[in-house]
Structure 1
Amino acid sequence: MATAPLFVHACHCRWCQRESGSAFVLNAMIESDRVTDLGQAPEVIQTPSASGRGQLIARCPHCKMALWSHYAGGGTRAKFVRVGTLDQPDRLPPDIHIFTRSRQPWVVLPPGTPAVPAYYDRNAYWPPESLARWQALQAGPGGAPADVGGR
């Protein structure tokens, strides 16, 4: 990742739980052109999603680990990078916990980090720099982002 992400989500939806085999998934949302492949290009596969519109998951061609997703609502302009695949995942704690209505009851959410029952209004939570980058992403060529948060 060439820069800091736009925002980091800890998603507690049941779909992410099932897909990751864990209690939640930690995704760093970033502009696709700010992510560089280090080696062989990933395998990109279409998978189902809770919305019914599917998502593209990029997987390592060797170990098949999910590296990032492109959700149907956002096209390919933004990547949701799996933080756990990074060399220093501890540098990207969640900015927000989403879909907490379906979080596992034994997961304790940290005080001081926003937590919402479903998705959220980015204007209420994102820092101004991320909002400006988002606006630039919307205006750029390629894809047709409508709501990158959409599943």
Structure 2
Amino acid sequence: MHEGRCTCGKVRYRMTDRPLFTHACHCTWCQRETGTAHALNAMIEADKVELLSGQPAEVLTPSSSGKGQTILRCPDCHVALWSYYPGAGRKIAFVRVGTLDDPGACPPDIHIFTSTKLPWYVLPDGVPAVPGYYDRNVYWSAGALARCDALLAR
């Protein structure tokens, strides 16, 4: 179980299970949105993100797909806590790992869109890295695939 919060502490949440998979996304959209080298998102079933306090505000934000994403932010300090993308809708939350109380507990399982990574960023050894997106059937564990398939079948 992992807990997290925004900077001011008004919004607190808990992930009640392990993430399905964690992405370090190096696309230029994520670089712009985060103001740094990449976004780090832990994918988890949305019903396994439990709100402990506060109420995040939903902000529709453009994305490279043209379909946008809904980012849940603290209404006071505006820190992005998690988001939803159109592909899975509200079934899968992309939790911003940096908002966890222990972000070191969710290292990236893969680096994606490395074709646009910043030239000075050194990819770590032993972690898969792909130039664009990837086939989850190749990289996800059997357990994560089963959890995701069961969720999407609902």
Partner of 1:21: 35
TM-superposed CA distance for 1:61, in Å, is: 1.8
2:47 to 33, 44, 64: 33
Partner of 2:83: 69
TM-superposed CA distance for 1:102, in Å, is: 0.2
What is the rounded CA distance, in whole Å, between the counterparts of 2:28 and 2:88 in structure 1?
20
Partner of 2:58: 44
Partner of 2:8: none
Query: Aligned ranges for residues 65-104 of structure 1 at < 5 Å?
Result: 65-104=79-118
After TM superposition, the runs of 4+ consecutive aligned structure 1 residues lying more than 4 A away are: none
How many aligned residue pairs are there? 140
What is the rounded CA distance, in whole Å, between the counterparts of 2:104 and 2:17 in structure 1?
16
Q: Secondary structure at the match of 1:9?
A: strand
Give the conservation status (yes or no) of the 8 Å contact 2:88–2:152: no
Q: For residue 51 of structure 1, what is the amino acid of its counterpart?
A: S
Partner of 1:55: 69
What is the rounded CA distance, in whole Å, between the counterparts of 2:35 and 2:116 in structure 1?
15
Partner of 1:5: 19
The alignment-based identity, stated in percent, is 61
Q: Calculate the TM-score normalised by the size of structure 1.
A: 0.91
Gaps of 5+ in 2: 1-14
What is the rounded CA distance, in whole Å, between the counterparts of 1:111 and 1:95 in structure 2?
12
Cα deviations across residues 10-65 of structure 1 (Å, max 9, x unaligned)?
Answer: 00000000011111010000000000112111101111111111110000122110
What is the rounded CA distance, in whole Å, between the counterparts of 2:73 and 2:132 in structure 1?
27
| Larger strand percent | 2
Cα deviations across residues 90-137 of structure 1 (Å, max 9, x unaligned)?
Answer: 000000000000000110001100000000000000000000001111
Gaps of 5+ in 1: 141-151
